Amino acid sequence: MMTPQAFFERAAQLDTADRLAPLRAHFHVPPGVIYLDGNSLGLMPKAVPARLAHVATGEWATGLIRSWSQAGWFDLPMTVGDRIAAIIGAGAAQVAVGDSTSVNLFKCLAAALHLRPGRPVILAEGNNFPSDSYMAAGLAELVPGTQLQFLEPGEDLAARLNRDGHRVAVVLLSHVDYRTAAVRDMARVNALAHAAGALVLWDLSHTTGAVPCDLSGTGSDMAVGCSYKYLNGGPGAPAFAWIAPSMIEQVQQPLAGWMGHAAPFGFTRDYQPAAGARRLVCGTPQVLSLVALDEALKIWDQVDRAALFAKSRQMTQFFVEAVQALCAPHRLRLICPSDPMHRGSHISFDLDEGGFEVMQALAARGVIGDFRGPVTMRFGFAPLYLSFREVAQAVDHLKVILDTREWDQARYRVRGTVT
Amino acid sequence: MMTPQAFFERAAQLDTADRLAPLRAHFHVPPGVIYLDGNSLGLMPKAVPARLAHVATGEWATGLIRSWSQAGWFDLPMTVGDRIAAIIGAGAAQVAVGDSTSVNLFKCLAAALHLRPGRPVILAEGNNFPSDSYMAAGLAELVPGTQLQFLEPGEDLAARLNRDGHRVAVVLLSHVDYRTAAVRDMARVNALAHAAGALVLWDLSHTTGAVPCDLSGTGSDMAVGCSYKYLNGGPGAPAFAWIAPSMIEQVQQPLAGWMGHAAPFGFTRDYQPAAGARRLVCGTPQVLSLVALDEALKIWDQVDRAALFAKSRQMTQFFVEAVQALCAPHRLRLICPSDPMHRGSHISFDLDEGGFEVMQALAARGVIGDFRGPVTMRFGFAPLYLSFREVAQAVDHLKVILDTREWDQARYRVRGTVT
């Protein structure tokens, strides 16, 4: 039988070989914490507080209104977008940053309906992150004749498109599933949808910064995603939107605010979209949140992305093997694909009894993951800053909590608000 | 003939009598600047940098994901909303903060169409701030059958509603005009619209924090507004939305993100709106921008609002009288109502030749206002922090620039991006 010691030894070897390990120094890692929730809210890059102080004191307080041009605030949605573009396989000036993932999703879905007139169906996966489904439903209810239909879990997309594809304007999918971490084959799905004449809108929230993504190379149409997970942009950091350059000049989107206008200071009554992705910007962007993200993204100039994605897979696999070896008696069910090439950077185990309490007991020991009801324990592995030693330690804590039933205490049953 | 000296003496008297003068100490006032653009971007409250540092280092970096509950991030859209409610005559738990003014306007317009089925018309004033018109047009284009119609400048709203009111779902108006500062009679307009069966959506962007506003007392239906002008929330600070409590439980709005769901962590496929104004929240809010606004709003606990609004009127009137007395030869045309009771907290003069250059020449002397093409020079008077002496100084600079034709230099003709 494997011992924790064996995994600690393997972790030490893996950490020694990890060329990305120095990147951890860019982040504030709270003492006593093993953070396996970077897939919900990434750690704070150490450079962020100084940047916020500079923008507040050096730009807002002193430059005042002039900072919109002189400090580059006006261009932030696009300049920050360029930093993200490099991570998701998009080109320069193709990504707009601002608003929330939900709002950007609405823009893109509406644009898709406009690009595919006569096709009334939004085909969305039923198990998607709920906000995506809510936004699609909101749009479908607003636009008479539009139908939101669901692809049920396990249902074959090819068969569905074969049957109903001619009525589908857009297929809405997450690239990485927020529960199971299952990764969809982007090129294959795009090809299937295109063969049916439909577009695909990808939600890259659990992809960006941890999982390979090549929007251009896979012939993608549209994508949105958040920046507060593996991009470490801060709580509620602004989201991004991308539409393929071959379509962007035809895009009309209904959230047509002045900051996406061709001449925002012309103050004309009629809307003329700006050229390119700038038309995806709506109202005045929230600068303080944008600059924190901008600062966080500077770290990516130093990241070997192929090495990063490989580390992510190595890390999730190490965790799975350790849990399966050390916690075998406890009926944890891996709900993720077993092949690391087919999953993202988090691992979920279902546990019929006590999953919530186990996560609370882990948190009490400094190991922070999250729980997705009814029975899913979710652990995220941010390869930018985690060490294999931390992963081994987390499993060791988990084993003790399960072996001793430490989780079975009233104080771990109190439910609050978590994300 | 009046001399600048006479106005400086009057300014000294007014400053001595100004009970609000101590509030200026809450703000960072850059040396050498007379800031007459607080109606575009308010000054930075001195407490903001420390709050940002605390939220970054003390909440994000250390509390991590737990700060969503433990630091109150999840509740920020409503707790910040409560601070704004007190300023606009709304009740507790009625105002939701987040997204941009444009996005909130879209939510409310769509909600209005849903509340007034069978009425296809959005009646919007043609001279409104353009983003409002763009968003209304975006919605009208998205929802077949919806018509965006304009109330032309000078056109009588009563007559228009008398003729077409039965087809109007919602009337979209700014309470204070962004150019002329003309204030609409909120109670009267509400009564006119209600008599026609229509709703009214008020844009309070140039109202909030400088002009009296009593949403509840005037029987209003809906309002949105920004927080980066007289509320000093910072560049692109999140906007607010309010819908009357008598209607809010019937409100369906299409930007139905998970943060407005009754049980956001239930992860159900179907959207169930939260009770009350929380349903106006959409995606994950941008926390760093929200907390800066929260900090800026704390100042309002100390503000005698009646005195503040009186100071605003006194200040605009002082400016108008000084300009008209000292710059009489220069053909400045006041485009604002002459009665301070009927205008907001900014003053606009049209100047056929050189208006842009005059504003640039003023800026070179440290007097910052803004220019709204083609010919409007706009000066904002934020009563929270401006002194009458600054107003007198600004007019003195303006007089010299006009008298000496200092503005007529090539370097003042360079146009950049301003807001």
Query: What is the spatial distance between Cα B236 and Cα B226, in angstroms, rounded to a whole number?
Result: 8
The active-site residue out of A279, A365, A378, A399 is A378
pLDDT of residue A419: 41
* Average pLDDT of span B199-207: 98
pLDDT of residue B418: 46
Binary contact (A56, B49; C-beta < 8 A): yes
Nearest-CB residue to A261 (from B28, B56, B134): B134
B129 catalytic? Reply is yes
B378 catalytic? Reply is yes
The reply to whether A368 touches chain B by the CB within 8 Å rule is yes
Query: What is the spatial distance between Cα B399 and Cα B377, in angstroms, rounded to a whole number?
Result: 14
CB A418 within 8 A of CB B73: no
* Total length of chain B: 419
The reply to whether A205 touches chain B by the CB within 8 Å rule is no
Q: B180-202 in b/e burial notation, b at 16+ Cβ within 10 A?
A: bbbbbebeebbebbeebebbbbb
Nearest-CB residue to A254 (from B138, B267, B288): B138
pLDDT of residue A416: 62
The reply to whether A141 touches chain B by the CB within 8 Å rule is yes
* pLDDT single digits (tens) A159-205: 999 999 999 999 999 999 999 999 999 999 999 999 999 999 999 99
Binary contact (A53, B57; C-beta < 8 A): no
Q: What Cα–Cα distance (Å) separates residue B326 from each residue in A36, B331, B386, B416?
A: 67, 12, 21, 30
Nearest-CB residue to B41 (from A65, A228, A286): A65
pLDDT for residue A415 is more than 90? no
pLDDT for residue A417 is more than 70? no
Quick one: closest CA in B to A284, which residue? B236
Nearest-CB residue to B255 (from A33, A138, A271): A138
pLDDT category at B415 given cuts 50, 70, 90 is confident
pTM across the whole model: 0.97
The reply to whether A366 touches chain B by the CB within 8 Å rule is no
Beta-bridge mates of residue A367: A34
Closest Cα to residue A242, out of A87, A416, A380, A353? A87
pLDDT of residue B1: 63
pLDDT category at A392 given cuts 50, 70, 90 is very high
* pLDDT single digits (tens) B293-304: 999 999 999 999
Q: At A130, which helix (H) or strand (E)?
A: helix A130-142
A72: tokens are 């580059």
* pLDDT single digits (tens) A71-115: 999 999 999 999 999 999 999 999 999 999 999 999 999 999 999
The reply to whether B41 touches chain A by the CB within 8 Å rule is yes
Nearest-CB residue to A135 (from B256, B292, B419): B256
Residues 206-265 (B) with a CB less than 8 A from some CB of A: 226, 228, 234-239, 252-259, 261, 265
Binary contact (A283, B253; C-beta < 8 A): no
CB B91 within 8 A of CB B245: yes
CB A282 within 8 A of CB B100: yes
pLDDT category at A1 given cuts 50, 70, 90 is low
pLDDT category at A328 given cuts 50, 70, 90 is very high
CB A419 within 8 A of CB B265: yes
Look at A2 and B255; give whichever has higher pLDDT. B255
B399–chain A nearest CA distance, Å: 23
Mutate to test the interface with B, among A51, A284, A362, A379 (most CBs of B within 10 A): A284
Cα-Cα-Cα-Cα torsion A382, A386, A392, A394, nearest 10 degrees, comes to -70
Write phi, then psi, for A187 (nearest 5 degrees).
-65, -40
B61 contacts in chain A (CB < 8 Å): 28, 30, 43-44
Please give the ipTM for the structure prediction: 0.97
Pair type for strands A95-97 and B222-225: unpaired
A203 catalytic? Reply is yes
Pair type for strands B370-372 and B376-380: antiparallel
DSSP state letter for B55 = I
The reply to whether B273 touches chain A by the CB within 8 Å rule is no
A290: tokens are 């944008």
CB A308 within 8 A of CB B169: no
B99 contacts in chain A (CB < 8 Å): 99-100, 103, 283
Query: What is the spatial distance between Cα A346 and Cα A372, in angstroms, rounded to a whole number?
Result: 13
* pLDDT single digits (tens) B159-179: 999 999 999 999 999 999 999
Beta-bridge mates of residue A34: A367
Binary contact (A236, B286; C-beta < 8 A): yes
Domains, chain A: 4-20+304-412 (3.90.1150.10), 50-302 (3.40.640.10)
Q: CA B57, A289, A70: angle at the middle one, nearest 5? A: 115
Q: How many CB pairs under 8 A join A and B?
A: 301
* Total length of chain A: 419
pLDDT of residue B135: 98
